[in-house]
Amino acid sequence: MAYIGTFSSPLRDMLPTQVDLPPGNGRGIHCFEVDRATGALQPRGVFELGTSPSCLAVNAAGDRLYSANETDRIDADQQGTVAAYAIDRQSGQLTLLNQVPSGGKGPTYVSLHPNGGHLLVANYFGGSVAVLPILEDGRLGVATCVVVDEGEIGPTTATNAPPGSFAFSGHDRTHAHMIQADPTGRFVLHVDLGLDKIFVSRFDATRGQLLANEPASVSLPPGDGPRHFHFHPNGRWFYSVQEEGSNVVVFDFDIESGTLTARQTLSTLPPGYAGSNFCSELLVSHDGRFVYAGNRLYDSIAIFAVQEDGRLQYVGEEWTRGNYPRSFTFDPTGQYLYCCNQRADNVTQFEVDRETGRLRFTGRFTPVGNPSHVLFVDLDQPARASQGR
């Protein structure tokens, strides 16, 4: 099954104060059955929501799904929500278990801690991150930890912006954009786009607490705006994509101290590009041989080969066949890549060349209103379930 999170318009029976950010053409979480031979997506219904479930995560057993509902006015504290669902292992359909406050406005990212007992949340409009316990039945408990980012806001012009760029998104305040644990689970990292920082915390699994590491953060060039990151399978190399700087930075990650050390910076755009661009997603291939970075406005996926020391070498690019690619995801086999073209209202499918890393468009478009994130669950093989973005 493939589950596609979307930016969704408020449902008619919702209160006027329950407004999502931003309203969109999606209807909630769209469900599809995947053809194992071709990768084609066949619609199998929609779990309707008016709260923009823009990011999804699934547990290792493949029977519980979680969504970040990107709202800012659910309650008096102007918090968004995170929801838990049961996945029917026969039909793939979803049943809502519960939803709880996310610890801030506009939750935009969720991921599961490797211990399976905690959900990590980044609240973009709240500039905060939170830890939520996962109860025995998969429901979510009240947050055990909420950390509000603080610091000096970066400039509105990125240090590494392309010539003539007017790209400006998050340098008006703090904006926590992604949160995820390192492969060992000892550390939790999150980025704040407005502060141009990657924060590193030690994780107390017993209490569900984030404890500041030493050093507590690493800074990116002013205005570049770190958005997403991905660990290499070896856990020692760390790649970060900058939304307004349109580049990827390669870091060494010390698995004992949690320290990040920058070693290389590469543009995600071709030589000579001028104008505005917003980077979006960043993914490392399953085998660790290639890194993929998304460009919005230029509407491409940049492809890099991973060298023996973790540094990157530019391979090429592929047009996404739709505008504003917000994110992309590999299927569980790594054979196909699916791209969410947010403003084109479609998901496009590409075949992955395992030897060169290049992408070949299969000709398949799947219509989905304002898609944000694709997540796959193998109902026949629970152990192979993906654990989120």
Query: What is the H or E stretch that residue 94 is in?
Result: strand 94-101
* 341 contact partners, CB below 8 Å, separation of at least 6: 299, 320, 321, 322, 323, 324, 325, 326, 347, 348, 371
Q: What is the pLDDT of residue 18?
A: 38
d(CA 251, CA 64): 33
Q: What is the pLDDT of residue 351?
A: 98
Q: What is the pLDDT of residue 20?
A: 39
pLDDT digits (tens, 9 = 90+) for 260-284: 999 999 999 999 999 999 999 999 9
Helix (DSSP H) and strand (DSSP E) numbers for the chain: 0, 28
Whose CA is closest to 73, among 97, 102, 98, 53? Answer: 102
Q: What is the mean pLDDT of residues 165-176?
A: 93
In this model, does residue 99 exceed pLDDT 70? yes
Place of tokens 């995170």: 82
Q: Confirm if 220 and 227 have CB atoms less than 8 A apart.
A: no
pLDDT digits (tens, 9 = 90+) for 355-386: 999 999 999 999 999 999 999 999 987 544 44
In this model, does residue 310 exceed pLDDT 90? yes
The top-level CATH class assigned to 149-319 is mainly beta
Give the DSSP per-residue string, 29-48.
EEEEEE-TTT--EEEEEEEE
Mean pLDDT of the chain: 93
Where do the domains of the chain lie?
149-319
